[in-house]
Amino acid sequence: MPLLKFKCCDCSLVFDELVSLGATGNVACPSCESRKVERHYQGKCYFGKKSGDGSGSSCSGGNCSHCSGCGH
Protein backbone atom coordinates (compact mmCIF):
# COMPACT_ATOMS: atom_id res chain seq x y z
CA MET A 1 0.00 0.00 0.00
CA PRO A 2 1.42 3.38 -0.93
CA LEU A 3 1.51 6.44 1.27
CA LEU A 4 -0.56 9.03 -0.62
CA LYS A 5 -0.97 12.75 -0.03
CA PHE A 6 -4.53 14.13 0.17
CA LYS A 7 -6.10 17.57 0.57
CA CYS A 8 -9.43 18.15 2.33
CA CYS A 9 -11.90 20.17 0.23
CA ASP A 10 -13.61 21.49 3.39
CA CYS A 11 -10.77 22.58 5.71
CA SER A 12 -7.81 22.53 3.21
CA LEU A 13 -5.68 20.28 5.43
CA VAL A 14 -3.00 18.41 3.49
CA PHE A 15 -2.28 15.00 5.01
CA ASP A 16 -0.72 11.61 4.22
CA GLU A 17 -2.72 8.40 4.29
CA LEU A 18 -1.61 4.79 3.84
CA VAL A 19 -4.26 3.41 1.51
CA SER A 20 -4.59 0.95 -1.34
CA LEU A 21 -5.09 2.60 -4.73
CA GLY A 22 -8.55 1.05 -5.12
CA ALA A 23 -9.79 2.44 -1.79
CA THR A 24 -8.99 6.14 -2.15
CA GLY A 25 -12.72 6.95 -1.97
CA ASN A 26 -12.78 5.77 1.66
CA VAL A 27 -10.33 8.39 2.94
CA ALA A 28 -11.56 10.90 5.53
CA CYS A 29 -9.86 14.07 6.75
CA PRO A 30 -8.23 13.50 10.16
CA SER A 31 -9.08 17.06 11.23
CA CYS A 32 -12.74 17.60 10.27
CA GLU A 33 -13.64 14.00 9.26
CA SER A 34 -14.95 15.17 5.88
CA ARG A 35 -14.89 12.61 3.08
CA LYS A 36 -14.52 15.38 0.48
CA VAL A 37 -10.83 14.80 -0.11
CA GLU A 38 -8.75 14.73 -3.27
CA ARG A 39 -5.33 13.37 -4.14
CA HIS A 40 -2.82 16.17 -3.66
CA TYR A 41 0.08 16.42 -6.09
CA GLN A 42 3.20 18.46 -5.51
CA GLY A 43 5.56 19.65 -8.17
CA LYS A 44 4.89 19.27 -11.86
CA CYS A 45 2.06 17.15 -13.14
CA TYR A 46 1.56 16.20 -16.74
CA PHE A 47 -1.61 15.21 -18.54
CA GLY A 48 -2.48 14.51 -22.13
CA LYS A 49 -0.55 12.40 -24.59
CA LYS A 50 2.92 11.20 -23.77
CA SER A 51 3.95 10.87 -27.38
CA GLY A 52 6.81 13.33 -27.10
CA ASP A 53 5.27 15.63 -29.66
CA GLY A 54 4.50 18.35 -27.14
CA SER A 55 0.75 17.73 -27.33
CA GLY A 56 0.45 17.14 -23.59
CA SER A 57 0.01 20.01 -21.18
CA SER A 58 1.68 20.71 -17.87
CA CYS A 59 1.11 22.89 -14.86
CA SER A 60 3.10 23.78 -11.79
CA GLY A 61 1.10 21.36 -9.63
CA GLY A 62 -2.11 22.15 -7.81
CA ASN A 63 -2.96 25.26 -9.81
CA CYS A 64 -5.17 23.87 -12.56
CA SER A 65 -8.45 21.99 -12.78
CA HIS A 66 -6.59 18.75 -13.49
CA CYS A 67 -4.59 18.94 -10.26
CA SER A 68 -6.99 20.63 -7.88
CA GLY A 69 -10.56 19.38 -8.08
CA CYS A 70 -11.60 21.31 -4.95
CA GLY A 71 -10.69 24.65 -6.46
CA HIS A 72 -8.32 25.51 -3.58
CA separation for the pair 40, 38 (Å, rounded):
6
Q: What is the DSSP letter of 22?
A: G
Q: What is the pLDDT of residues 43-58, one digit of tens each?
A: 665 655 555 554 444 4
pTM for this entry: 0.60
Any bridge partners for residue 57, and if so which?
47
Task: Convert the pLDDT of each residue in 4-37 to its tens digit.
Answer: 999 999 999 999 999 887 888 889 999 999 999 9
Separation CA 1–CA 71 (nearest Å): 28
Residues constituting the chain: 72
